[in-house]
Amino acid sequence: MPDVQVLLAVQGPGETDLVSAISRAPGLTVSRRCGDVAELLAAAGARLGTVAVVSASHLGIDRVVVDRLRQMGVLSVGLAAPEDTGRVAALGVDAVVDQAGGTHAVLAALTGVRDLPPPPPPPEEPQAADGVLVTVWGTTGAPGRTTLAVNLAHTLTRHGTVGLVDADTRAPSVAQVLGLVDESSALALAVRAATQGRLDAATLDRSFPRVGQVAVMTGLTRPDRWREAPAAGLEVVLERARARFGFTVVDVAGGWEPEAPGFDSAFAPARDGAQLAALRLADVVVVVGAADPVGIHRLISLLAERPRTQGREVVVVTGVRPSVGGPAPDRAVREALARFAGVADPVLVDDDRPGLDAALMAGEYLAMTAPRSPALAGIEELARVVAGAPVSRRAARPLRRRRR
């Protein structure tokens, strides 16, 4: 069996002793001594090692670095100060070694490198049973994803506690829809804490101020800050939110641009990594499209090219109206989706431009400013589908509307 090639990124006076001990150990070879994280990732990218020993308490190692090492086929052993083992374990390393144990503890971990035990879970408060993670996704061209996500979150409060997360890294706008001041990004704060292994209950609570009955995590203040929401950190935030709330509604960027697979993709963060993370973790994926001919075409194309997800999928068509759908727009939308996309029972949301405009200008939920809005019937139906409640599907448009 060939020797295990070890990358060392260790700070402190004990590095020389560790190099000597690994060099003398059978089956282990130090292939590169790295001075910082950049050099470590470069060595891993050059395939110079299969396991990395890192000073996780002092070198700036976070979940993003650990995730990139794993993508490049490199396991990680994190050296932690005695008081820092819980935080280092939260970074997702393959093994945690208390640096007070000296070289013997490191060698013990490296000797069984092909069968490393999982790191101990970080200490945290007991959580309730996991809730439902709902990712609101859809086509490009502003079909109303954010408006639907905001009002779906408000309607779901009838079925349990609700958290709303703005994870759209291309056009974040939940704060604007609800009239919130977005001088700072709660999403960036929470994800930064998660990547450093410091996302505790107090930090999570601060990231979710309440707007009415919904706890809202505001998104990035500008699209060019997308690097502050890496998938590795966002996944932790969403898992904690799912454990905290009965329903967590996540608004993400629309469209789908699959990245070219390859070894080099591990060197840089993915532009739409937040979108992919939310889709991958979702229990329910709400796919949103507009009811006009262009929107339906985009929706059919997206459904044909969408990524595989584990969550239950619900297709929603917004802005249903006779002016672009004919005298029976419900029937026209259903027939088009059934014929060209195989969608048998989409949820349809009626158009109500005046009501939605009034809610936007007031920074309120639609049910608060226009309780008789025709769009609310579709949103309430969607909430029942998400919550698993019985749904009474509405029939086609009334005859009087068809006659008009």
CATH number (domain holding residue 308): 3.40.50.300
Give a yes or no: residue 142 inside a domain: yes
- pLDDT for res 99: 87
The three state secondary structure string of the chain is: CCCEEEEEECCCCCHHHHHHHHHHCCCEEEEEECCCHHHHHHHHHCCCCCEEEEECCCCCCCHHHHHHHHHCCCEEEEEECHHHHHHHHHCCCCEEEEHHHHHHHHHHHHHCHHHCCCCCCCCCCCCCCCCEEEEEEECCCCCCHHHHHHHHHHHHCCCCCEEEEECCCCCCCHHHHCCCCCCCCHHHHHHHHHHCCCCCHHHHHHCCCEECCEEEECCCCCHHHHHHCCHHHHHHHHHHHHHHCCEEEEECCCCCCCCCCCHHHHHCCCCCHHHHHHHHHCCEEEEEEECCHHHHHHHHHHHHHCCCCCCEEEEEEEEECHHHHCCCHHHHHHHHHHHHCCCCCCEEEECCHHHHHHHHHHCCCHHHHCCCCCHHHHHHHHHHHHHCCCCCCCCCCCHHHHHC
290 and 337 housed in the same domain = yes
Q: How many CB atoms lie within 10 A of CB 297?
A: 15
Give a yes or no: residue 126 inside a domain: no
Pairing of strands 284-290, 75-80: unpaired
Q: Report the C-alpha gap between 282 and 314 in whole angstroms.
A: 12
216 and 277 housed in the same domain = yes
273 and 373 housed in the same domain = yes
103 and 142 housed in the same domain = no
Give a yes or no: residue 342 inside a domain: yes
- pLDDT for res 9: 93
86 and 156 housed in the same domain = no
- pLDDT for res 259: 67
Give a yes or no: residue 365 inside a domain: yes
- pLDDT for res 133: 97
- pLDDT for res 3: 82
168 and 95 housed in the same domain = no
CA atoms within 13 A on the CB side of 113: 25
20 and 66 housed in the same domain = yes
- pLDDT for res 4: 86
268 and 136 housed in the same domain = yes
153 and 42 housed in the same domain = no
Give a yes or no: residue 239 inside a domain: yes
Q: Look at residues 82, 115, 148 and tell me which one is the last residue of a structural domain.
A: 115
Give a yes or no: residue 120 inside a domain: no
- pLDDT tens, residue by residue, 17-54: 999 999 888 888 999 999 899 999 999 988 999 999 99
245 and 388 housed in the same domain = yes
Give a yes or no: residue 237 inside a domain: yes
Q: Report the C-alpha gap between 211 and 246 in whole angstroms.
A: 17
- pLDDT for res 391: 56
CATH for 44: 3.40.50.2300
143 and 235 housed in the same domain = yes
Give a yes or no: residue 122 inside a domain: no
- Prediction pTM value: 0.86
330 is in which domain, residue-wise?
132-403
Q: Within the chain, which residues score under 50 in pLDDT? A: 117-118, 123-128, 263, 393, 395-404
- pLDDT for res 392: 52
110 and 143 housed in the same domain = no
